[in-house]
Structure 1
Amino acid sequence: MMRFTRTRLLLGFAALLAWAQFRESGDPKLSAHLTLEAEPRMPVRVYLFKEGRPFRLSPVDAMLPLRIDLLYRERMWVRSADPTTLEVTATDQSHFFLLKGRGEYELPQGKYRVEAYRGLFYVPLSIEFELKAGESRRIALPMKNWLGAESREWLSGDDHIHLVRAKQDDPIFLAWLQAEDLSVALFLQLQRQMDAAVQYGFGAEAEAKASGYSIRSGHESRSDLFGHINLLGGREPIRPLSVGGVYSNAPEGFPYPSFLFRKGRAVGALTGYAHFDGGAHFGEGAPPRMRDAKNHSTLLMDLALGNIDFIEVFQAGYLNDERWYELLNAGFEIRGIAGSDFPAAFGGRGLKGRFIPLLGPERTLVRAKAGASAYEAWAKGLRTGEVIVTNGPVVRLQMEGGKVVVSAQFFRPLTRLEVIADGHVIAAKEGDGSATQLTGVFAVPESTVWVAARVSAATEEDEPAIRAHTNPQFLRHQVANRAERTDLADDFAKEIDFYKTQPRLLDQKEQRQMFFREADAALSKLRQ
């Protein structure tokens, strides 16, 4: 009798196990048909949860499996000529994109929650629903733009993305950009022994375009001696893409950044430093892998010689404002931009902080109209126009006589709006815990050299600090803090001394003489 009962229990358990597997397999008799559709119809990023746990949408017809390593070899996989759903996988988690704003799926019965996101200007959406066996159901995803008509006045850009790009993949990548509401993406080729994140072409001929969106190629040239630099949008890459023993196949350090910047500008590239000074030595508050970086850099040399258009000040959720202020106070009118370093900086984020986009988690907003090329309009505005770096809010600054008018807006409560003059907070307005807009008019001291505004907003669990910062407006063109410029000159003098101790820095005598001639000229300018 005991044996019979045990046998029946085992058979019953096996039947229940088979039922569970059968039920989750999507058997037609037990599954439901789900249609997800954004309203208005537009590409969006979505996540599905079944009974509180992440659940895959199925079927999908495009997939990008990311293995976060140092070689950037991942390719897009497609199974139809006109994909509607892209699945991006990283660290065993899936991120889904409705490339045409609509998708159809076969799912087992059960209780679900779908979340929908689109860039920074749309309010996140969460809807709970239940599917029953044999049911066909449409779930509308009403997407609300919290910035309204003003959102069309801004072009958003991410200057630092490492993804392999083949020409046939452009339509999928462009739809992904639209789902992230990211106007401009710079896909950067680079080198670690061999070429990585390879681009099929460069310049305008290889620019992927849709109305209001562009993908343009560039490259990150890396050196463990001089730092990492970005050359954006040029007609051709400047080789070698990397130098030194860490990133290339030889220990020597030529060409150094100053040489590359001249070559890059000659082919129409925007030029600047990645990771702030090329090596991500960010200081207190930065992510550990950035905070603990020990790097040498020729940033000060290229600032003094006028070789660069920008530095990355906002990355991996960290706004490196204090070091930026130091450069501004020293008389360098340098643009600060935001770049994701995707997928490297995406790392182990998984499904945490889902409001933050994959592409353009921090982005550079330029007030401009896209015209025929969103990239060209964004690049022009970056050089001369109104520029913001943000991972959420919008903040604005306008000078009116001797006063500054500042305002900020977000869909969450704003916590503090500040006016910065020559690196110091001269005025602030606190949020009340519910206000999603803050404004203020403040007097600016007559001696002010530059002024900017920054804002912070409510942060949810697993998110970085949510912030936005204007680029500075210069009221006069001079050094704001002589002591800070002197300190920078002393720092660069130490860098020159270090470079003189490196026997394989530059193998050829002419190259070595050229480098130190430029370094000495830069130091002389820093001493002025």
Structure 2
Amino acid sequence: MHRTSLPVVAIYSFLMSGFLFLFEVKSTLAQAQQTGLLKLDIRDGLTGKLTPVRVRLTRAGKSIIETPNQTVAVSYGLWDHADGFAFQPDSSFYVSGQIKLQLPPGTYQLTLMKGNEYINQYHTLKIKPGKVFQKTYTMTRWINMVARGWYSADDHIHIRRSPRENQPLMDWIQAEDINVGVLLKMGDFWETYYPQYAFGVKGNYRQGNYLLTSGQEDPRTPELGHALSFGATGAVRYGKNYYYYDNVFDELHKRGGLTGYAHQAESFHGYRGLTLDGLRGKVDMLELLQYCVSSHPLHTEYYYHLLDLGFPLTATAGSDFPWCGHDHDHGPPEQSARIGNARFYTNLDKPFSYESWKAGVAAGHTFVTSGPILDLRVNKTLPGDRIALKKGDKLTIKAEAHGHPLQTPLDVLEIVAHGRVLGRVTKNDPGQSSGHLTIEIELPSVVHGLWIAARCYGDSMQAAHTTPVYVTVDEGGFYNPETVETYLNQSTSYLLELEKELDMHQDNPEFRAWYYKKGLKTRIDETRQVISELRSKLKNH
């Protein structure tokens, strides 16, 4: 009985599997007849090749619920959690140049984006049942900054990276047209997040004019702010001396890195750390433009503070993805939480490489932007350059801003020196427009040193600012004699703030400055000595 039942079971199983197969085929054919197929190629206007882009596909204002198989996906999230994968925070997604997706019949809205220099495209698609909607779109630039010698960078990306993530992340930064994407290992007093598999040259991944590299946002404390660094051959972390940022900065400098403060030194009392380390010459750069503090990305208060005291400081910018962005969950995708929504450009005097880019940043040949393009020349020198004059020499200052009338409309361009506006034009002035602003002024007789920068504003969410040109007269400094006393007093008040913090024993484990009171008090005293010496020196001048 047992032997004769086996063939019956086998035959039954075979018939059932065949029936299920035929049912699935029939269901698939029925579904194909009920849906339409979307097939898109997206190509670059200069090369004609398929190019990575960011895509947003909606229907009646709602995002589609699935992405095509061609989506370039990487796990990302706050605190290194897996909060997102295929979709970006604004429901867009990345592809390498092709889309193939079955969609229910209907009318869809397609947005194609490729960073600030390319013109966004908006298309209406009508998908019909059983039909193929096939199209090729070409992305075109409204400006080509690489051709002008300027390379974009986002210095603040938080995604954990092993070598396996290199290619998809490369597609992401190419889709945003970011030449250098800096992926930051993040830390706090207790732990580190977003690990990077290597630093320095060993942590680089390059394709043509695009580069992934590693850096760190560590130390990070609520009492002193968030430290930022990239370009070092290795990460640096001193867990037992966590609040002594200067120890980290000194070692990072030895390893070839550049150091500074994130978030415009506004968040987490970063102005205290910037005072403590900046006045002692430990800081190279400040993240001047970002969407973490507010929807207005440019905040200059603490930047001008150090500049007016005579300390050079390179302007950089970064998105702090996936943490920061205007209207994080909804609203215009152009300013959502995304890589490259805040970026900086660096001018290179050599062909693009990791080393030439680092050298350009170190020289201060930068401007930060959320859209507008700036060009500043002071006696034909670049931002970050130093000009040595004799009393009575003249200066010629020229600034230009470029924008796109629909995508990046310009409003105001200003030349500032010591924080004061020397020249200003608007889009409504004769010869000016929302696509191009220009201003040229001459200082016929310079009598004291100064720093000179250009800044530009578009709408409330678009701005740009250059690193200054530093002008000295008769071998003096470039500090601002009119504000130096005020800023020295403010610096002293920030140190007093920190001292009060040290006297407060905190049960909250996130606040540990009191635990390092002795060492921080020594550093405060050193900074007070610097302030005293500056006050004496600058009074005599």
TM-score by length of 1: 0.80
Superimposed CA distance per residue, residues 487-519 of structure 1 (whole angstroms, 9 cap, x where no aligned partner): 234224424643653677476898467535534
2:313 is aligned with 1:313: no
Change (3 A) 1:73 1:370: farther
| Distance of 1:26 and 1:145 partners within structure 2 | 42
Retained in 2: the 8 A contact 1:201–1:217?
Answer: yes
Aligned with residue 367 of structure 1, among 316, 333, 347: 347
| Distance of 1:508 and 1:366 partners within structure 2 | 38
Retained in 1: the 8 A contact 2:365–2:467?
Answer: yes
Change (3 A) 1:502 1:380: farther
Partner of 2:82: 74
Partner of 2:62: 53
Q: How does 1:158-177 map to 2 (within 5 A)?
A: 158-177=154-173
| Distance of 1:25 and 1:484 partners within structure 2 | 76
2:174 is aligned with 1:178: yes
Aligned with residue 195 of structure 1, among 192, 195, 210: 192
| Distance of 1:396 and 1:202 partners within structure 2 | 32
Partner of 2:436: 437
Aligned with residue 494 of structure 1, among 477, 493, 496: 496
317-326 or 157-166: bigger deviation: 317-326
| Distance of 1:449 and 1:74 partners within structure 2 | 48
Retained in 2: the 8 A contact 1:44–1:116?
Answer: yes
Q: How does 1:129-278 map to 2 (within 5 A)?
A: 129-148=125-144, 151=147, 153-192=149-188, 193-221=190-218, 222-240=220-238, 254-277=242-265
Q: How far has the Cα of 1:369 moved from its partner?
A: 6.7
| Distance of 1:314 and 1:513 partners within structure 2 | 31
Unaligned runs of 5+ in 2: 1-26, 45-49, 380-393, 506-511, 537-541
Retained in 2: the 8 A contact 1:489–1:526?
Answer: no
Q: Which amino acid aligns with 2:209?
A: G
Change (3 A) 1:254 1:137: closer
Partner of 1:13: none
Q: How far has the Cα of 1:24 moved from its partner?
A: 13
Superimposed CA distance per residue, residues 72-120 of structure 1 (whole angstroms, 9 cap, x where no aligned partner): 133996xxxxxxxxx2343xx5221122x22222222211221111111
SS of equivalent residue, structure 1 residue 331: coil
Q: How far has the Cα of 1:234 moved from its partner?
A: 1.6
2:495 is aligned with 1:515: no
SS of equivalent residue, structure 1 residue 28: helix
SS of equivalent residue, structure 1 residue 74: coil
Q: Which amino acid aligns with 1:74?
A: A
| Distance of 2:515 and 2:374 partners within structure 1 | 49
Aligned with residue 115 of structure 1, among 108, 111, 117: 111
Q: Which amino acid aligns with 1:59?
A: N
SS of equivalent residue, structure 2 residue 199: coil
| Distance of 1:336 and 1:206 partners within structure 2 | 24
Partner of 1:17: none
Percentage identity across aligned positions? Answer: 25
Change (3 A) 1:384 1:66: closer
Change (3 A) 1:496 1:103: closer
Q: How does 1:336-355 map to 2 (within 5 A)?
A: 336-346=315-325, 349-355=328-334
Retained in 2: the 8 A contact 1:51–1:110?
Answer: no
Partner of 2:38: 34
Q: How far has the Cα of 1:180 moved from its partner?
A: 0.2
Retained in 1: the 8 A contact 2:74–2:168?
Answer: no
148-157 or 228-237: bigger deviation: 148-157
| Distance of 2:494 and 2:370 partners within structure 1 | 32
440-449 or 112-121: bigger deviation: 440-449
2:377 is aligned with 1:380: no
Change (3 A) 1:320 1:509: closer
Q: How far has the Cα of 1:32 moved from its partner?
A: 1.9
2:487 is aligned with 1:485: yes
> What's the Cα RMSD here?
3.0
- Greater Cα radius of gyration, structure 1 or 2: 2
Q: How far has the Cα of 1:52 moved from its partner?
A: 3.7
| Distance of 1:75 and 1:371 partners within structure 2 | 38
2:308 is aligned with 1:333: no
Aligned with residue 391 of structure 1, among 370, 380, 395: 370
